[in-house]
Amino acid sequence: MKNIIRSVACVALLSTSLFAQKNVNNTDKEMNKKLQNDLNTRYPAASKSIVVWDNNDYGYYGSYAVDNTNFMARYDKQGKYIETLTRKNWDDNVPMNVRDSYDNSPYKSYKIDSYWEVNDPMRKGYYIRAKDTKGKLQDVWMDDQGKVYDKPDYKKNEMKKKKEDEKSMD
């Protein structure tokens, strides 16, 4: 009798786990479809490219290439569009304030793996992927002034800091 109860409990637990896993996958597929549709509307050339979607603590991002140029579209956790970045070479064309900020940042000894510029007309910023001496990747974000952040939501960080500064002045 105890074996029957244990077996039923195991089957119920396994079924619940599989059902939950299936919902997560369907949710990801649905979100990817929503994001892909939005991206295709914003950038019709992306509809002819393979877009690789991924997510992290800050939202979703899709990487794709058009005419040998790499792009990354970013969306928040709710699927709201944030920005599109273009991969560039880390060379003499990098804005001086970005280069100076990176050279004075805690990551200055890291090797640049990739460098991206926001290419939306109403938004400016930069994303650098760097490797430390052990090969561990570090994401580095910069606003249009070259201020360094370790999270992509630098505008939110600025707004939060501004509100805190205003409160401290009261």
Q: What is the CATH number of domain 89-170?
A: 3.10.450.360
Q: What are φ and ψ of residue 75, in 5° steps?
A: -135, 150
Instruction: For 123-156, write each residue's pLDDT tens digit.
Output: 889 999 999 999 999 999 998 888 898 888 655 5
Alpha helix ranges (H) inside the chain: 2-42, 96-103, 154-169
Strand 111-118 to 81-88 pairing:
antiparallel
Low-confidence ranges of the chain (pLDDT < 70): 1-27, 153-170
Which tokens go with 136?
């561990």
Q: What is d(CA 143, CA 156) in angstroms, rounded to the nearest whole number?
A: 11
Q: Where are the domains of the chain?
A: 1-76, 89-170
Q: What pLDDT is attached to residue 112?
A: 95
Strand 69-75 to 59-66 pairing:
antiparallel
Q: What is d(CA 22, CA 16) in angstroms, rounded to the nearest whole number?
A: 10
